[in-house]
Amino acid sequence: MGLISPLGNSCEEFFSNLVAGRSGIKRISSDFVDRLSINIAAEADFAAEAYFSKKTARTLDRFSQFAVVAAAQAWLDADMQLPGDEKKRAGVYLGTGMGGARTLEDSYVQLFKQNVKRLDPLTVVMVMNNAAASYISMAHAMKGPCLTFSTACSSSAVAIGEAFRLIKHGYADVMLAGGTESLLTYGIFMSWESIGTLALEAEDPSTSCRPFSKDRTGFVLGEGAAILVLESLDRAKQRGARIYGEVVGYGSTADADHITKPSVEGQANAIAAALEEAGISPDEIDYINAHGTATVVNDIAETRAIKEIFGQRAYQIPISSTKSMHGHLLGAAGAIELVAAVLALKHQTAPPTANLTIPDPECDLDYVPGKARTGLNLKTIMSNSFAFGGTNAVLIVKKHE
């Protein structure tokens, strides 16, 4: 696994910050911050020059830069080798909401404000949503399927689920799967301000995202990337690979209801579908990484959906929303949250839901408020991603014994 995030640019740093309850949410560093009503975000501390030559950095939008670096980390972490005859059996599935958003906005500023007569010739290939996946496939000579999924906040969960199925049904043996997002631009902040789902800035800005808390006001936009190496179990065992877990279930459903409002039925269906594919009962889920955006409606809907499937057992499962600390990574959210859940499995520790200070009777499950829970006996974890547009994606990973 590999990642770039507002809580660090390595899995170890990311997880130790989560467990410590640290927040990556702070005042936006860009100079347009004072033109915004909401001044906070979860930015990644990432300088392109630390990872790329000048020439390469200029050809990659930041969203691609994140993804390429995260993929390289994951490749190394997996100690992956791909001999010539296996290259066609290896591919890349990524999720992103808005691709090269930063480059696109810079181009518009140049055209409409500065009246330039010509745009950078690489604009098209920096902005296109599939750029990140393509550069990853080039970097690792992966000649199998190379696709990019765009389903808003569930994009990368979808990408991982689809990659899992690709291997499961024999179309590939190795997949790099995950997501990337970098859209912290003036125009995009303004768009999000208008739709009214962003958290109001708390007195201590780092505590602004409060999933499941009675005083929650929404989410904080973040940026980053997370990539996982998925591999067929046979191949992994044969080469003695270190196995973090086994993806066993993926549920993909549509709310078919409203473009933004979540549907309990759609979410519950996705959870049920994932459990069914995994061939396990709800009793076997030991930890859930919630979608938990801290909007009033999502947190209630998600609580109801979990109760609908898990019944009384729902009250015994530790459930946390790590968005409270790393923010909402949109197209990369599903992937980074699955990494958090898989690391929970590795360390037998459930990260907390930060800032959950006022219980909401409508969200009365065990949301691991404030402090991480260590010394658990986690065998199977679930990660939820529910999106604008209504595409729900739920993933289940089992510890590999």
Q: Which is nearer to other proteins, 58 or 237 (CB)?
A: 58
CA–CA separation, 152 vs 129, rounded Å?
12
H-state helical runs in 82-232 = 101-108, 123-127, 131-139, 155-168, 186-195
Q: Which is nearer to other proteins, 57 or 243 (CB)?
A: 57
Helix 333-347 vs helix 155-168: crossing angle, to nearest 10: 70
Active site residue 347: no
Q: Which is nearer to other proteins, 57 or 233 (CB)?
A: 57
**Do 319 and 366 meet the contact criterion of CB atoms below 8 Å apart?**
yes
What are the structure tokens assigned to 292, written together? Answer: 């938990």
Q: Which is nearer to other proteins, 58 or 261 (CB)?
A: 58
For position 122 contacting other proteins by CB under 8 A, the verdict is yes
- Nearest distance in Å: CB 84, other proteins: 24
Residues 279-298 contacting other proteins, CB under 8 A: none
For position 375 contacting other proteins by CB under 8 A, the verdict is no
Question: Cα–Cα distances in Å, from 250 out to 1, 101, 121, 157, 274?
Answer: 19, 29, 40, 9, 4
Q: Which is nearer to other proteins, 54 or 242 (CB)?
A: 54
Catalytic option among 146, 326, 328, 363: 328
Please report where in the chains the tokens 């980053």 appear, as a residue: 224
- CA atoms 126, 129, 130, 134: torsion sign: positive
Active site residue 291: yes
Question: Which of 50, 113, 118, 259 is close enough to bind other proteins by CB under 8 A?
Answer: 118
For position 120 contacting other proteins by CB under 8 A, the verdict is yes
Active site residue 328: yes
For position 128 contacting other proteins by CB under 8 A, the verdict is no
- Nearest distance in Å: CB 153, other proteins: 33
The per-residue DSSP string of 246-303 comes to EEEEEEEEE--S-SSS--HHHHHHHHHHHHHHHT--GGG--EEE------HHHHHHHH
Catalytic option among 11, 291, 326, 363: 291
**Do 394 and 283 meet the contact criterion of CB atoms below 8 Å apart?**
no
- Nearest distance in Å: CB 124, other proteins: 11
Site string for other proteins, 31-60 (x = CB under 8 A): ----------------------xxx--xx-
* Binding piece for other proteins, criterion CB under 8 A, among 117-125, 195-203, 275-283, 318-326: 117-125
What are the structure tokens assigned to 173, written together? Answer: 């043996």
Q: Which is nearer to other proteins, 76 or 116 (CB)?
A: 116
CA–CA separation, 153 vs 129, rounded Å?
15
- Nearest distance in Å: CB 135, other proteins: 13
Q: Which is nearer to other proteins, 53 or 312 (CB)?
A: 53
- Nearest distance in Å: CB 120, other proteins: 6
- Nearest distance in Å: CB 257, other proteins: 45
For position 113 contacting other proteins by CB under 8 A, the verdict is no
How many residues bind to other proteins according to rule CB under 8 A? 10
Residue 328 — φ and ψ, nearest 5°? Answer: -100, 110
Half-sphere exposure of 215 (CA within 13 A, CB side): 11
Q: Give 72-123 as a 3 state SS string.
A: HHHHHHCCCCCCHHHHHHEEEEEECCCCCHHHHHHHHHHHHHCCCCCCCCCH
Which residues are known catalytic residues?
153, 291, 328
Instruction: Give contact residues for other proteins (rule: CB under 8 A).
Output: 53-55, 58-59, 117-118, 120-122
